[in-house]
């Protein structure tokens, strides 16, 4: 009799769970990369709207 509070899992189910978690992490990473690219695009558009153009300087 085992007195452990951790339930017993066979080796294959532990590997399957780890692979599932890793695939979920890859999905999260891809989503973060998409958000970063979207943010960069948004900043470029904003920068174009607010850039200071050439101005004549009076002396």
Would you say residue 14 lies in a domain? yes
**What per-residue confidence (pLDDT) applies to 38?**
66
Would you say residue 1 lies in a domain? no
**What per-residue confidence (pLDDT) applies to 1?**
45
What's the domain count of the chain?
1
pLDDT tens string for the chain (59 positions)? 455 555 555 555 656 666 666 666 666 667 666 666 666 666 666 666 665 666 666 66
Q: What is the DSSP string of 10-46?
A: -HHHHHHHHHHHHHHHHHHHHHHHHHHHHHHHHHHHH
Return the CA Rg of the chain. Answer: 26
Domain that holds residue 16: 10-49
Would you say residue 15 lies in a domain? yes
pTM attached to this predicted model: 0.23
Would you say residue 55 lies in a domain? no
**What per-residue confidence (pLDDT) applies to 57?**
64
């Amino acid at each position: 009799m085992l007195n452990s509070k951790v339930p017993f899992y066979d080796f294959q189910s532990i590997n399957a769970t780890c692979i599932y978690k890793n695939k979920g992490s890859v999905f999260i990473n891809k989503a973060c990369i998409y958000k970063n690219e979207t943010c960069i695009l948004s900043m470029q558009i904003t920068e174009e709207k607010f850039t200071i153009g050439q101005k004549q300087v009076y002396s």
